[in-house]
């Protein structure tokens, strides 16, 4: 959890952002959540009426502060989506809660911020939204919540043998074997991005950029270097610049033993974004 404050401080220290660049979100409205989440589930979540099994599945002990924190994160991603829809890059230091389903929590994800942001943009009139999920774990909640909406295309590239054990079906899934390194990973990503961007023609990209793909990650089982992970991000940003569309980024997972490695990898994502947008 400490990575969030450390990342903000590091970004300011390196001059990648100014304090004035930071948007401090409030709590998201219930209306925005209910565009894609079940009303009964939201009520149970807010009132602390989850069963022991549901709480265990979420990964968190329930508290009012936990729900407030989650709703602030959701609003941060929603606001970033609005900025991205205008052709800019906007990045949530937190977020990337891609295991949350419409009616249940899962894998430390209570509400699905990228799907909430997608539905917010759909309500504004956008018609082609691409979710690029490059966290090492498949975005099963995102896949389930968008599977019946042709306006949202979900693309997930993840570890084949990693969590969740039973994968959902995204519009495009690229499952990689344990130990996949920079060369194979970046080759597969380039192929997939080219295919999706040229056929779906998105108006905006929502990017889950977890850094648990690193070879140092305790939960990832892939073998990307810090440089490979940065090149991954640059590839996504370059694709958006070439298509002249904006991008929202949510940081997602990162579980390297040394927290400085996690912060460095996330900082590289911001650096790649700055280089592509300036």
- Tell the burial category of 149 from Cβ atoms under 10 Å away from its Cβ (0-12, 13-18, 19+): middle
The pLDDT, as a whole number, for residue 3 is 86
3-state DSSP assignment of residue 255: coil
Which residue in 142, 243, 149 sits closest to 202, CA to CA?
243
Environment class of 65 (CB within 10 Å of its CB; exposed 0-12, middle 13-18, buried 19+): exposed
b/e sequence 152-177, b meaning 16+ C-beta within 10 Å: bbbbbbbbeebbeeebbebbbbbebe
pLDDT of residue 277: 84
Please say whether the beta carbons of 98 and 56 come within 8 A: no
Over residues 124-179, the pLDDT tens digits come to 999 999 999 999 999 999 999 999 999 999 999 999 999 998 999 999 999 999 99
Find the mean pLDDT for residues 87-97: 95
- The whole-number average pLDDT for the span 88-109 is 96
Q: pLDDT digit string (tens) for 217-260?
A: 999 999 999 999 999 999 999 999 999 999 999 999 898 988 99
pLDDT tens per residue, range 2-56: 788 899 999 999 999 999 999 999 999 999 999 999 999 999 999 999 999 999 9
Residues 158, 178 contacting (CB under 8 angstroms): no
Per-residue tokens: 220: 């990832």
Smallest CA-to-CA distance from 209 within 119, 269, 146 is with 269
Q: How much is the pLDDT for 208?
A: 97
Tens-digit pLDDT profile for residues 173-215: 999 999 999 999 999 999 999 999 999 999 999 999 999 999 9
Q: What predicted TM-score, i.e. pTM, was given to this entire model?
A: 0.96
Give me the sign of the Cα torsion angle 26, 58, 144, 235: positive
Domain boundaries, the chain: 3-277
The answer to whether the beta carbons of residues 233 and 274 sit under 8 Å apart is no
Domain 3-277 sits in CATH at: 3.40.800.20
Res 278 pLDDT > 80: no
């Amino acid at each position: 959890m400490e990575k969030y404050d450390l990342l903000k401080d590091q970004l300011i220290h390196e001059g990648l952002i100014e304090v004035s660049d930071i948007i401090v979100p409030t709590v998201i409205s219930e209306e925005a959540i209910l565009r894609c989440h079940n009303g009964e589930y939201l009520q149970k979540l807010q009132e602390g009426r989850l069963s022991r099994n549901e709480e265990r599945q979420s990964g968190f002990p329930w508290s009012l502060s936990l729900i407030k924190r989650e709703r602030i994160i959701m609003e941060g991603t929603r606001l970033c989506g609005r900025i991205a829809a205008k052709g800019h890059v906007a990045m949530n230091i937190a977020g990337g809660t891609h295991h949350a389903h419409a009616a249940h929590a899962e894998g430390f994800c209570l509400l699905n911020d990228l799907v909430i942001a997608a539905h917010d943009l759909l309500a504004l009139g956008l018609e082609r939204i691409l979710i690029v999920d490059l966290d090492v774990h498949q975005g099963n909640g995102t896949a389930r919540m968008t599977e019946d909406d042709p306006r949202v295309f979900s693309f997930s590239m993840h570890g084949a043998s990693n969590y969740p054990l039973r994968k959902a079906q995204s519009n495009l899934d690229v499952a990689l074997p344990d130990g996949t390194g920079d060369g194979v990973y970046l080759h597969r990503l380039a192929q997939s991005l080219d295919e999706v961007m040229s056929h779906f023609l998105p108006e905006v990209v929502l990017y889950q950029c977890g850094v648990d793909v690193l070879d140092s990650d305790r939960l990832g089982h892939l073998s990307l270097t810090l440089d490979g992970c940065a090149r991954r991000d640059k590839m996504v940003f370059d694709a958006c610049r070439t298509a002249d569309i904006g991008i929202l980024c949510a940081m997602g997972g990162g579980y390297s033993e040394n927290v400085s490695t996690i912060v460095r990898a996330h900082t590289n994502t911001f650096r790649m974004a700055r280089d592509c947008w300036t």
